[in-house]
């Protein structure tokens, strides 16, 4: 006997579980199916984000930052710590506890919202006579579901280098990189993107010599050039070796080492010998096992499920959100799409503003941005004004002892509308929220400058940068 639902959500990552909750809040009868389980077969909803992404990486970033502060950072405050010991087992155990709390939290939310959760792999199984989609679940739970609407939120998985398989012991994806049992002496990273920089930072702080090989000729091309330059300078000072323009040729492993052969930016043949290698060169959408062909679901040439601006696929009442569709692979983008789709299904006007999705790198210093950067505006030929304010001139940053970086506000030269905000410095991940709100309301640099910001706070740096757009910063 099949079980009937208004909405079946496939995948319980941030896209899927949030879509399921919003649909249930709007009165729909909802099921959510997810295949992630631990070694004992226990369900672990939350997807990449909760299990091997956002949450565990931030837990380890926090522990490693505490360790580095205890070793180096307290001295200037007059605190002497005679011996600092690292218990890597405890780091990993704490990280696993944080993950488990999030898994349990999602199961609790499913119950609270009366969502039927199925643990297993879901696949399309054709259509029932009444036109509803049939979804087969295989795994811990085996079931046949039918649904009027299906939301696909199956996420993504790490991209491997051609011919170089992840063994998660020596050649690591993000999964293995979050679970290294002892600090490697030499750690190699291929790809100086978000994962490479965040996880490279974790292991550097804990004592590994980290070398990052980046294929592009420039560093961090996704960020504003000024921010990327500042970041490269600071990471170098911290001891993170980053080599750009590296063309990786092959990877060989022996019982103890991994050797990467590559051509450097000058075209010279090089080798890098390391104890462990993280490969973080992007992610690919997960569609395997969905049996999408059976219903004629369209993919694009890169394997993403094809959707329109409303996350509607080529099939009526089949939607797709998050990493499995175009756009940035970010948890908050997946969540926003999940909410919007649930609202559209319920006849409301779900909306996602793709121009105001913030990006954050949780390294030290943190980096965040929203909107356009200078390179993009130049390419578009738009006239703009820039205000920049260094944290060195911010009282709170000085009191914290964390004065690296700056805030840059870019505004339209004619209208003063904020077009982009770029931050490198303490708490950049939190500070960006104000910029997102201002841009959502199409605010001007002058609006930020006129808002009363508490003193002494880091947020005053955003206000000062906004005033700087018209060359009237007060403290710089
Ligand atoms: P996922 O989270 O990948 O979830 C998909 C779920 O669907 C999984 O549980 C999967 O098992 C399940 N599934 C797949 N196929 C099926 C099937 N056929 N049947 C049933 N279930 C299925 N983003 C941020 O915004 N901030 C961060 O700080 C951040 N840090 C990250 C750190 C790392 C190391 C990594 C790897 C990623 C990070 N991300 C971060 C990206 C973020 O994790 C993803 O953008 C987000 O998880 C995407 O959500 P999703 O719901 O689309 O897919
Ligand atoms: P990424 O796209 O951020 O970076 C990949 C890097 O690898 C790029 O700089 C690229 O030029 C480089 N590269 C690609 N192929 C290469 C090759 N063959 N040799 C050398 N360099 C190569 O991808 P990453 O770091 O794997 O992360 C995947 C996704 O996960 C990101 O796109 C991001 O959306 C998400 N994520 C988000 C985080 C956050 O929001 N803080 C943290 C971690 C991941």
Per-domain boundaries in the chain = 3-155+286-346, 159-281, 359-469
Helix (H) or strand (E) holding 274: strand 269-274
Taking 70 as the pLDDT cut, the residues of the chain under it are 1
Residue 93, judged by CB atoms within 10 A of its CB (0-12, 13-18, 19+), counts as exposed
Pairwise CA distance, residues 279 & 256, whole Å: 18
User: Candidates 193, 286, 364: which one to mutate for ligand 2, based on the most atoms within 8 Å of Cβ?
Assistant: 193
Query: What pLDDT sits at residue 262?
Result: 98
Query: What pLDDT sits at residue 2?
Result: 86
- CATH superfamily placement of domain 359-469: FAD/NAD-linked reductase, C-terminal dimerisation domain (3.30.390.30)
pLDDT per position as a tens digit, 106-130 = 999 999 999 999 999 999 999 998 8
Query: What pLDDT sits at residue 197?
Result: 98
Helices (H), 113-206: 174-177, 194-205
Q: Would you say 238 and 73 are in contact if contact means Cβ atoms under 8 Å apart?
A: no
Pairwise CA distance, residues 305 & 313, whole Å: 7
Total Cβ atoms within 10 A of residue 401 = 12
Nearest atom in ligand 1 to 322's CA: 52
Q: Side-chain half-sphere of 17: how many Cα atoms within 13 Å?
A: 28
| Equal fold, 159-281 vs 359-469 | no
At residue 50, the 3 state secondary structure works out as helix
Q: Side-chain half-sphere of 276: how many Cα atoms within 13 Å?
A: 28
Gap from CA of 49 to ligand 1 centroid (Å) = 5
Q: Would you say 418 and 410 are in contact if contact means Cβ atoms under 8 Å apart?
A: yes
Q: E strands along 372-417, which residues? A: 384-390, 406-412
pLDDT per position as a tens digit, 332-359 = 999 999 999 999 999 999 999 999 999 9
Ligand 2 pocket by Cβ (under 6 Å) = 190-196, 198, 213-216, 248, 280-283, 328-330, 360-362
The class of domain 3-155+286-346 in CATH terms is alpha beta
Query: What pLDDT sits at residue 129?
Result: 87
Query: What pLDDT sits at residue 158?
Result: 98
The dihedral built from the CA positions of residue 218, 224, 229 and 230, taken in this order, carries a sign that is: negative
Q: Would you say 204 and 348 are in contact if contact means Cβ atoms under 8 Å apart?
A: no
* Strand pairing category for 276-279 and 406-412: unpaired
Catalytic site includes residue 77: no
- 243 pairs with which residues across the strands? 213
Both tokens assigned to 452 = 């009363």
CATH fold, domain 159-281, is: FAD/NAD(P)-binding domain (3.50.50)
């Amino acid at each position: 006997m099949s079980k009937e639902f208004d909405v079946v959500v496939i995948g319980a990552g941030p896209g899927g579980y949030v879509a399921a909750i919003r649909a249930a809040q709007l009165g729909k009868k909802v099921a959510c199916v997810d295949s992630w389980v631990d070694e004992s077969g226990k369900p672990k909803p939350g997807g990449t984000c909760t299990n091997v992404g956002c949450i565990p990486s931030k837990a380890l970033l926090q522990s490693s930052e505490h360790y580095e502060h205890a070793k180096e950072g307290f001295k200037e405050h007059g605190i002497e710590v005679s011996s600092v010991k690292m218990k890597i087992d405890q780091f990993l155990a704490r990280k696993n506890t944080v993950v488990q709390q999030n898994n349990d939290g999602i199961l609790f939310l499913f119950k609270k919202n009366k969502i039927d959760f199925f643990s297993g792999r879901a696949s399309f199984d054709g259509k029932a006579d009444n036109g509803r989609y049939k979804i087969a679940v295989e795994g811990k739970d085996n079931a046949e579901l039918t649904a009027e609407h299906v939301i696909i939120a199956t996420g993504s998985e790490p991209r491997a280098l051609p011919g170089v398989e992840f063994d998660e012991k020596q050649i690591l994806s993000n999964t293995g990189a979050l679970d290294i049992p002892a600090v490697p002496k030499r750690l190699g990273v291929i790809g100086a993107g978000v994962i490479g920089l965040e996880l490279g930072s974790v292991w550097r702080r804990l004592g590994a010599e980290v070398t990052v090989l980046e294929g592009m000729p420039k560093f961090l091309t996704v960020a504003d050039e000024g921010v990327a330059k500042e970041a490269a300078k600071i990471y170098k000072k911290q001891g993170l070796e980053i080599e750009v323009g590296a063309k990786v040729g092959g990877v060989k492993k022996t019982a103890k080492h991994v050797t990467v052969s590559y051509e450097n930016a000058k075209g010279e043949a090089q080798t890098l010998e390391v104890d462990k290698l993280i490969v973080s060169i992007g992610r690919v959408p997960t569609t395997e096992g969905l049996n999408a062909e059976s219903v004629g679901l369209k993919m694009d040439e890169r394997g993403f499920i094809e959707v329109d601006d409303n996350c509607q696929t080529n099939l009526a009442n089949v939607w797709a959100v998050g990493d499995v569709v175009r756009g940035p692979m970010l948890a908050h983008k997946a969540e926003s799409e999940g909410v919007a789709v649930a609202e559209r299904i319920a006849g409301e006007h779900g909306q996602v503003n793709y121009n105001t999705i913030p990006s954050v790198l949780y390294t030290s210093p943190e980096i965040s941005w929203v909107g356009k950067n200078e390179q993009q505006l130049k390419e578009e030929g738009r006239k703009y004004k820039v205000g920049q304010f260094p944290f060195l001139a911010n009282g709170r940053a000085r009191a914290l002892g964390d004065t690296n970086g700056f805030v840059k506000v870019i505004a339209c030269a004619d209208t003063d509308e904020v077009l982009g905000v770029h931050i490198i410095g303490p708490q950049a991940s939190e500070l960006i929220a104000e910029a997102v709100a201002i841009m959502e309301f199409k605010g001007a640099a002058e609006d930020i400058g006129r808002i009363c910001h508490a003193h002494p706070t880091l947020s005053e740096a955003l206000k000062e940068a906004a005033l700087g757009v018209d060359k009237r910063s007060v403290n710089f």
